[in-house]
Structure 1
């Protein structure tokens, strides 16, 4: 009797998915949907777009699953795909803004928690929106590094692997991202 999917390694579940077993695809989605969504939401600053881009990421990943090196962890591979989807989204967004001179539509806010006073919630959301907007204005290379290290909490080595750069480059980009973010927040 074989172990349930939830107890199997990523490599085993990927192998099953490659044979067309739908339960294996669902298991991979269940394991990694949340971290991929968090990364994309932090990269784009837009929760609604993050939902769409998360779906696009998994569609692309499942389509390319045969090229995945099963000796490697799956999550860094998914992160690279997600970051590429974010880059594509950013380019398309800039092009649309340039062509039609439209501003991006902010995602709807969640219903507030009744336990938190409204004025505190409004101030927190305003500050979060201000910081998210400043992060979104960072150059792509700096934004991705900052999001992976500071928001997602990846180690320097994991960030380097996800971005395909050296750990020293991660350190340099992170320093520059924090400096630029501090400046952007100071000047408003």
Structure 2
């Protein structure tokens, strides 16, 4: 997705008729430019973070279409509200707070309507890298990514078992209470600190720690057969 419109000549980042590549700028500067209405800068932020936001929404909602809708709503809200962000360094937690709140609102509204079966989702969508592999914390410059390993030889039998385990964990995650699920995902998958998660979900850090611990216990018990 891209924000509608196009950068205007003479906007910040354009000097002497020559465009300054956004890839040469630090992300704090890009956020500041997006706050000033630079659509090119905002589209750069979309490209950088929509993948991580989508994976969070997919794991929260277990529905591809709903996740895509929430991602779009999140970035529309971000574009409209970005000028009101007083601390540009807080852009990433602020973005994830917006997405998390929209997911929780959707789960509250959700009634018994069909959703995509978890087994039909792509393995890459379901994969849950450890917090050391996934970016997306408050420090600008960290981006969400699915764990590496491309090009390495993988035993086919082990690959089948890994995929089955990923699906089992993703399915089990849906049984975890949404508030606990959000905190666990933000910590274990997206790599946020306890303090950052507290700011995202707007709860005391002690409550966040308790929620994550409860989610871990529930998931550990459910995954016991895989040990």
Q: Same fold (TM over 0.5)?
A: yes
Pairing 1:63–2:80 present: yes
Confirm or deny that 1:164 pairs with 2:202.
yes
Matched residue SS, 1:138: coil
Cα deviation, residue 147, structure 1 = 0.6
- Aligned counterparts of 2:223 and 2:123: Cα–Cα separation in 1: 24
CA 1:110–1:150: 2 relative to 1, 3 Å: closer
Q: Give the Cα–Cα distance (whole angstroms) in 2 for the partners of residues 90 and 140 of structure 1.
A: 8
1:116 counterpart SS class: coil
> What's the secondary structure of 1:95's corresponding residue?
coil
Q: What value does the CA root-mean-square deviation take over the aligned residues?
A: 3.1
List runs of 5+ in structure 1 lacking aligned partners.
Answer: none
> 1:187 deviation in Å?
8.3
User: Per-residue deviation at 1:167?
Assistant: 1.4
Q: Which one of the candidate residues 93, 102, 105 is aligned to 2:117?
A: 105
- Summarize the Cα distance change of 1:76–1:104 in structure 2 as closer, same or farther, 3 Å threshold: same
Q: Greater helix share, 1 or 2?
A: 1
- Residue 142 of structure 2 is matched in structure 1 by none
Tell me the TM-score normalized by structure 2.
Answer: 0.66
State whether structure 2 residue 86 is matched by structure 1 residue 74.
no
Distance 2:123 2:88 in 1: 40
**Within the alignment, does 1:139 sit opposite 2:177 as a pair?**
yes
Cα distance in 2 between the residues matched to 1:158 and 1:125: 30
Contact 2:123–2:163 (CA under 8 A) maintained in structure 1: no
- What is the CA–CA distance in structure 2 between the aligned matches of 1:187 and 1:136, rounded to whole Å? 18
Which residue is equivalent to 2:111?
95
Shift of 1:129: 0.8
Corresponding residue number in structure 2 for 1:16: 33
- The whole-number CA distance in structure 2 between the counterparts of 1:114 and 1:46 is 31
CA distance in structure 2 between the aligned counterparts of 1:130 and 1:110, rounded to whole angstroms: 12
Equivalent pair of 1:38/1:152 in contact (CA under 8 Å): no
Secondary structure at the aligned position of 2:112 is classed as: helix
- Cα deviation, 1:91-143, whole Å, max 9, x if unaligned, reads 34x4133xxxx4543344359x9943443222211111111111111001111
Greater shift in the superposed pair: 118-127 or 129-138? 118-127
Distance in 2, Cα, partners of 1:114 & 1:71: 39
Aligned to 2:129: none
